[in-house]
Structure 1
């Protein structure tokens, strides 16, 4: 992946962005043309944008077919779900430390999704508080719909992953070693064709995601 591109309403590139990517390209405002973007990752900063502008900026960037990562000065779980469902491959804080931003790019450049562990746990907790959707009630929802290809232990681990539980918490809840938890989660990645914990958690909560530039389906069919 080439040098990232930042699009923001800020008058100049922010220090943490510059520190993370010294040669990053910066645009103040939405560019009129995207011809020179090649396959670069696009960071879209939501700072000072109204809701309609956020939608316009994200749609314009996604329309290029390039990978888009949304930054927000006030990350929240509803926006996180919305941008990932719409096709963004990441969602993070505008003022994230340079080292964290480099980690973000590393993850998404290898085909993963990024939300961040703290926000992911809040997203999963909120989804579980809402209870099963009408579709989940009609059909088997969550990890149970994959029971035909998962072992009973993988189903048990998957249910806890879907709540945002950490490996240590899963280990304690199921009375198994943490390395065994990691092994089961790796198996879940392989069997459900997801690349990381974020995608697994979203899938097990029946959240459909767009996967631009990917040969892996956004959501596997119910089994």
Structure 2
């Protein structure tokens, strides 16, 4: 093992994280990619109230907090966590490119404000910075036009994308519906096509984006500006 590798492992392997986001695909993707980088996800929350409870129960090194969540938004959840545990470190992860929202997050006590479009390595760097007692703000990059291929991708997705991974209109519709939490049956019904056709579209999408599964496809398409994540509504009681 090289000295550089040893330093890398010691820098983050013991860090324990709480992920709070109402999108299951976002949580799944973050969990997988951050685990690949050596972090430990000790708990996950699908709403702000649950995030507060889990942060106090598990006392993670860093809380990765979405802003737009049901029950409590990420700003208020951050405020409540820090009110009861002032030493907690919160990284806000969001789609909102808004100075007022950034200021609100900082006033609530968040130490970093990172865009969901950021590469996993950038999120990881921010987590490590917070764990070291630093603050780190990552500005949101402009939304990429359709067909744009960023110069680099994080290690979770790899660097082997074809030069022009443009999805057809129908493929974009299929992937958008999956991003919104629809099942294969629901996608087929919504678009008036068979489930087999839906699966064929997915196969084509995977090949074009050079990904292994639906989660990777959705997360990469969001980062490339091909689709958007919609806020999930809390179920009615």
TM-score range, shorter chain: 0.3 to 0.5
Q: What is the TM-score when the length of structure 1 is the normalising length?
A: 0.45
Q: What is the TM-score when the length of structure 2 is the normalising length?
A: 0.43
